[in-house]
Amino acid sequence: IVILTAFMGALITNDVALIALVPLTMTIAEKAKFEPVWIVIIQSQAANIGSALTPIGNPQNLFLFEKYEIGIWEFGSLMPPFVVFGVCWTLVMNLLNTKRKIVFDVPSSEIREPQKIDYFLLGTFLLFFVFIDNISRMEIIATMMKSATNGEIRTMTSSALLSQFISNVPAAILFSSFTGSYKELLLGVNIGGSGKIIASLANLIAYRIYVKEKGRTLKYIAVFTASSSITLILSIVFGYLRLKLTGL
């Protein structure tokens, strides 16, 4: 189910992949009587990583693809190394799941329907976009952004880190106004989907589905933040070594 989540993230966006598959995971967990927090968190990260593979995998990819007029073949050559690395690491994390065989039947009528539109989340991200549009015109912000985009490695690292505070889609929009290093920005905002739970809308979608069923908010956030921060650090190191040794 982890591999399927990553694969669907590339084809139908990370958000939709989680809306479709996390309810299935919750149903399986209920029938098989196991705690699904770890697998849902891994699914969240798998969806983010898998979605990096294609222009339609997530909103930031689609935005940068159009903004910089990246060719489809060029785009296809940029992200596979990161996706392979990320999926392999996600599968390593999956080894921490309990090893036991489960057998059960789930009638199709019992599979939960995907979530309805979450207007609270959409409104939150809309405010992010309005905020980004306003601050990008401020002189002090422009000065800071010019410093943050001074060099390829700095562009990648800064965009990944800023995503932790304003989410990776607004970060992509903000950085695109100040840099032509679209390859490094593309890598940075995809890396930035890991880390804090607000770094990606997909993270929040998986969280909301889990909490709606289990109601264990603090446990989920604590486990997610710890594990996803490790993924963020390793991904930044991977990006740094890739840029240093081979470039993009």
64 pLDDT exceeds 90?
A: yes
Q: How confident is the model at residue 32 (pLDDT cuts 50, 70, 90)?
A: confident
111 assigned to some structural domain: no
C-alpha atoms less than 13 angstroms from C-alpha of 200 in its C-beta half-sphere: 36
Could you give phi then psi for residue 95, rounded to 5 degrees? -65, -20
Residue 67's nearest CA partner among 180, 227, 201 is 180
Whether residue 239 lies inside any domain: the answer is yes
Percent above pLDDT 70 for the chain: 88
Tens-place pLDDT, residues 139-195 = 888 888 889 999 999 999 999 999 999 999 999 999 998 999 999 999 999 999 999
Instruction: Work out the mean pLDDT of the chain and round it to a whole number.
Output: 89
Tell me what pLDDT residue 23 has: 94
Q: Higher model confidence: residue 111 or residue 211?
A: 211
Give, as one character, the DSSP assignment of residue 103. -
In whole angstroms, what is the distance from residue 98 CA to residue 93 CA? Answer: 12
Assigned domain for 107 exists: no
Per-residue pLDDT tens digits for 84-112: 999 999 999 998 876 767 766 666 655 55
Enter the pTM of the model: 0.89
The pLDDT tens digits of the residues spanning 216-226 come to 789 999 999 99
Q: Which single residue is written with the structure tokens 């920005």?
A: 185
| Average pLDDT rounded to a whole number, residues 185-213 | 95
Whether the predicted pLDDT of 113 surpasses 60: no
pLDDT at 194: 96
State mean pLDDT over 228-246.
Answer: 94
In a domain, 173, yes or no: yes
The SS3 assignment for 180 reads: coil
Give domain status of residue 61, yes or no. Answer: yes
- Return phi, psi of residue 71, to 5°: -70, 150
Could you tell me if residue 109 is inside a domain? Answer: no
pLDDT at 169: 92
Residue 91 belongs to a domain: yes
Domain count, the chain: 1
Domain that holds residue 180: 2-97+118-245
Tell me the mean pLDDT in the region 186-209: 95
Q: Is residue 108 part of a domain?
A: no
Cα distances (angstroms) measured from residue 126 to each of 32, 90, 116: 39, 30, 18
